Amino acid sequence: MHWYEMKLDGRGHTSSALSQVCRPDRAADVPKYLEQVGKNGIIARGSGSSYADQAVNVDGAVMMTGRLDCIRSFDEKTGELICEPGVTLKTITELYGPRGFMLATATRSGQHTLGGAIAANIVGQNGHKRTSLAKSVNWIDVVLANGETVRAGNSENADLFKAVIGGQGLIGVIVLISITLLKRPEENVVVERRRLSDLNELMESLKTARKTADFCTVWIDTSARSDAVGRCILTTASFTKDPATEPLFSFPKIKLPLPYPVLYFTSLPLFKNLRYRLSFSLGKKVEPYEKFLYPSDHVHLLSQKGVYQLQASFSEAEGPQAIRRILTELSQTRVSACRAVLVMTKEDTLSYLGSAQRGYTLVLDFIRRKGLEDFLKHLITVAGEHNGRVSVQDDALLEPRNLVLMYKHLEEFVKARETYDPQKKFDSNFGRRLFSKEKKNEQ
């Protein structure tokens, strides 16, 4: 058993910590490492792309799952894939895309490990068709705090299943996964990009897109004011039999890390205005599905200053009003997000800590600056006033009282944690921020 010290942070660089780190080579080693865990417990970490403190554990231990990346079997008839948690979504797409299969959820990045994506209950650009990746999971094998490996699925240890999915690693370590890959209907998708002038036009267009498009995502100009609030570029895509169109010229897909000044520029009204007005490739084009996938992997934006993400899910009824209120506040206060994306979601997720509900999920990224945290806490309150649920998956600022108001299955999650890990062997900065008793008493 080998441990070493390492400084780890979240992708948003708002939380970092020195931890004792281990990298098991085999699933059978996981219980042995768990036996050696001391103060502040241990947390699993996949590719570490959660924005905040979800996979960070100050003065504690972190288990990197990247080497647990064996594929055990794939059934061509049913699409059932059995593999370890360290396999990335991109690897699955590269291996099984050419054979006509696809993951049920089309996420923005393929860098996530399957274990991390399940533990974060990841949603995608097709959230209005399939709520979350977790819905396609048949069962998972979880190593619990006592070292025992337990299988959990919808019909077997369902409480454990619902707690581990979206549970941010606080219940146990996922060491084996059975997931169903879908038959990809066609090789290509027809992608359409349209400029929409305000929120009313957006909401009308989304009603149609919900019914007709296989994928739908919206880039919002958060600097737009008064009547133009909600102006955006709507991207929809649907599978098609049409052949892919070879563009005469296409922009190179940059895979370079872009430094802070570029990130800063993306938050300026000038950039947003230019992007809205000059947006390239508006109209329709047909491209291979695999090319359309994982748009976030082309550019890696860096900021050592830190980036906060606020992701809130609203019902169909409350969504338009809540989104208008948040966007109006952003434009009035001139707190511009460096990225603002809206996706639709189909239904409540099955996990106890899942945030998605049938309606809309608004995702906002902000560069850290003075006074921002207070403003974002205010937006969390606004979301709560509209019965929204702020997602725990990349959040850095939720407080225990927000969870109590927003998550109707919170008690079940807490109960599952008490049942499966009464000593809190699995813990993280995130876990202590939101679930430690001392903190609750302080309030």
Does position 65 interact with ligand FAD (CB under 6 A)? The reply is yes
> Is residue 83 near ligand FAD by the rule CB under 6 A?
no
Least separation in angstroms between CB 249 and ligand FAD: 27
**Binding mask of the shown chain, residues 391 to 430, with x at each position contacting ligand FAD by CB under 6 A:** --xx------------------------------------
400/434 Cα distance (integer angstroms): 5
Q: Rounded CA gap, 309 and 340, in Å?
A: 10
| Residue nearest ligand FAD by beta-carbon distance | 116
Stretch that binds ligand FAD, among 25-33, 41-49, 251-259, 324-332 (CB under 6 A): 41-49
* Single-letter residue type at 35: E
Burial class of 225 by CB neighbour count within 10 A (0 to 12, 13 to 18, 19+): middle
> Judged by CB under 6 A, does residue 31 bind ligand FAD?
no
User: Is residue 115 at the binding interface for ligand FAD, with CB under 6 A as the rule?
Assistant: yes
Position 44 contacts ligand FAD (CB under 6 A): yes
Site string for ligand FAD, 136-175 (x = CB under 6 A): --------------------------------xx---xx-
- 91: contact with ligand FAD by CB under 6 A: no
Cβ atoms of residues 193 and 185 within 8 Å = no
In angstroms, rounded to a whole number, what is the distance separating the alpha carbons of residues 420 and 442? 26
Question: How many residues form the binding site for ligand FAD (CB under 6 A)?
Answer: 33
CA dihedral of residues 103, 292, 310, 45 (deg, nearest 10): 50
> Is 57 an interacting residue with respect to ligand FAD (CB under 6 A)?
no
Q: Is there binding between residue 108 and ligand FAD (CB under 6 A)?
A: yes
Nearer to ligand FAD, 229 or 307 (CB): 307
* Distance, CA of 345 to CA of 218 (rounded, Å): 13
* List of residues contacting ligand FAD (CB under 6 A): 11, 43-50, 54-55, 65, 85, 107-109, 112-113, 115-117, 119-120, 122-124, 168-169, 173-174, 296, 393-394
